[in-house]
Amino acid sequence: MKKKRAILLLLMTLNLLVLSGCWDMREINELGLVTAVGIDKADSPNRYIVTVQIANPSSQSSGSGQSSAKSEVWIGSEEGPSLFDAARKLVKTSSRRIMWAHNNVVIIGESLAKEGIIPVVDYFTHNPELRMKAAIVIADGAAKDYIVAKIGMDSPPGVSFGSLMGYRALAAESVESQLLEVSSSLKSKYANPLISKISLKETESQSGDSESKDSGNSKIVELSGAAAFKKDKMVGWLSSEESRGIAWILNQTKNTAVTVADSEHADKSVVVETTGVKAKIKTEVVDGKLKISIRVSGKGDIVEEDGQTIQDMSETKGHITELLNKSIENEIKKSLELVQKKYMVDCLGFAAIVHAENDKEWENGLKDKWEEVFPKIPITVSVSINIKSSTLNQQPMYVY
């Protein structure tokens, strides 16, 4: 019995020695937590510029000297023959080990997007620290310019990007794009990425914002529009209106407001908030020809009305419903015309639906010539948004 106790005591002592610490532990004050990263093509061939925005905890310090004047973020930028090389060089000026686990967005410059985004997506999808739910966007211009710009209301600015993407569906003037989705599209033989666009918007500096006044930086980042890709190369932009046309198809709208002309007053307008909008896509092969139909349905509420009508509310709803449905239908058709006829890329996932619903025809020829077939497919669109009620009084306000 004593021998067994001695052996047990020895084993416990050995365990304490093994579990006495974490061999790879890294203190938080030794890490540079990236909140946003921008990737640009360098002037020299086959070289990249990596620019990061890193949260600066010491900016909240109330002590005297430089600490109280520090920015809430630290900006670093390096160039290298590869993304890994450029990112590793950041330690030369950051004084901390770069950590990507808290990154919210990967911003790709326009020139690099046109050349090809495979190196960027490949690098970040192989990075074990990075979350695949991080947003990926295409910059109108150089990505570096957006890292130093104001993003949203939260601090540090990079953190705001998650919120921008989260509330994106309210305006629905951009598309949902995350690293995981873009990576999946690039790996597919028939899918093409559709990635949100960001641009810089002029704004007045906030009162009391001494840093903005001193730097002269009065631009904020706006999430609006999208970039269409053929495989990994960007082929063109979609405007905010064209992006919303795509959002209706992809079921990426939520409580979206649509403004239509008043049925009786050309200079007046009516605003309808849509809810529960769903798009159903149906494909069929008739006499050897593929056809696609898109049916959008949902509900709507009148939330604003400029003019006054002599019609009763039921008649008014009928007119506005007709105008609303026509407006959304035109948005969708305009967007389809752009991606199908001009850019000629299936960035809406039609190939997967055709494959699922017409497997025989897909295997017997469609899959081998999809890029040739897609631009010629007739697509019909029908919209049925039913205005059930009005959040306003039955008659709009009128000043006599």
Q: Is there a single domain that holds both residue 216 and residue 253?
A: no
Buried b (16+ CB within 10 A) or exposed e, 139-165: bbebbbbbbbbbbbeeebbbbbbbebb
From the centroid of its chain, how far is CA 94? 29
Q: What CATH number should be reported for the domain holding residue 347?
A: 3.30.300.210
Tokens of 33: 């937590």
User: Residue 338: what pLDDT?
Assistant: 97
Buried b (16+ CB within 10 A) or exposed e, 246-277: bbbbbebbbebebebebbeeeeeebbbbbeeb
How far is it, in rounded angstroms, from Cα 244 to Cα 238? Answer: 9
Answer yes or no: is 11 within a domain. Answer: no
Task: Look at residues 178, 208, 238 and tell me which one is the last residue of a structural domain.
Answer: 238
User: Residue 26: what pLDDT?
Assistant: 54
Q: Is there a single domain that holds both residue 382 and residue 312?
A: yes
User: φ and ψ at 107, to 5 degrees?
Assistant: -105, 125
Q: Is there a single domain that holds both residue 233 and residue 268?
A: no
How far is it, in rounded angstroms, from Cα 110 to Cα 356? Answer: 35
Answer yes or no: is 1 within a domain. Answer: no
Q: Is there a single domain that holds both residue 159 and residue 195?
A: yes
User: φ and ψ at 2, to 5 degrees?
Assistant: -65, -35
How far is it, in rounded angstroms, from Cα 399 to Cα 85? Answer: 67
How far is it, in rounded angstroms, from Cα 72 to Cα 210? Answer: 13
Q: Is there a single domain that holds both residue 117 and residue 200?
A: yes
Answer yes or no: is 9 within a domain. Answer: no
Answer yes or no: is 319 within a domain. Answer: yes
How far is it, in rounded angstroms, from Cα 251 to Cα 254? Answer: 8
Task: Look at residues 220, 238, 256 and tell me which one is the last residue of a structural domain.
Answer: 238
Answer yes or no: is 107 within a domain. Answer: yes
Q: Is there a single domain that holds both residue 215 and residue 252?
A: no
Q: Is there a single domain that holds both residue 376 and residue 320?
A: yes
Answer yes or no: is 314 within a domain. Answer: yes
Place of tokens 């004047």: 69
Domain range for 374: 241-400
Answer yes or no: is 60 within a domain. Answer: yes
Answer yes or no: is 392 within a domain. Answer: yes
Task: Look at residues 215, 238, 261 and tell me which one is the last residue of a structural domain.
Answer: 238
Sign of CA dihedral 9, 13, 15, 20: positive
N-terminal to C-terminal alpha carbon distance within the chain: 103
395 burial type by CB count under 10 A (0-12 exposed, 13-18 middle, 19+ buried): middle
User: φ and ψ at 91, to 5 degrees?
Assistant: -65, -15
| pLDDT values of the chain reduced to their tens digit, one per residue, 400 residues | 666 676 667 666 666 555 555 545 455 566 788 989 999 999 988 899 999 999 876 654 444 334 333 467 889 999 999 999 999 899 888 777 888 888 989 999 999 999 999 999 999 988 887 778 899 999 999 999 999 887 777 666 777 777 888 888 888 999 999 999 999 999 999 999 999 999 998 876 554 454 444 444 578 889 999 999 999 999 999 999 999 999 999 999 989 999 998 666 666 788 999 999 999 999 999 888 999 999 999 999 988 877 655 455 677 788 889 999 999 999 999 999 999 999 999 999 999 999 999 999 999 889 999 999 999 999 999 999 999 866 555 555 554 4
Q: Is there a single domain that holds both residue 40 and residue 169?
A: yes
Sign of CA dihedral 205, 209, 212, 214: positive
Q: Is there a single domain that holds both residue 349 and residue 377?
A: yes
Number of separate domains in the chain: 2
Q: Is there a single domain that holds both residue 135 and residue 258?
A: no
Q: Is there a single domain that holds both residue 85 and residue 224?
A: yes
Tokens of 235: 């082929």
Q: Is there a single domain that holds both residue 368 and residue 251?
A: yes
Q: Is the peptide bond before 396 cis (omega within 30 degrees of 0)?
A: no
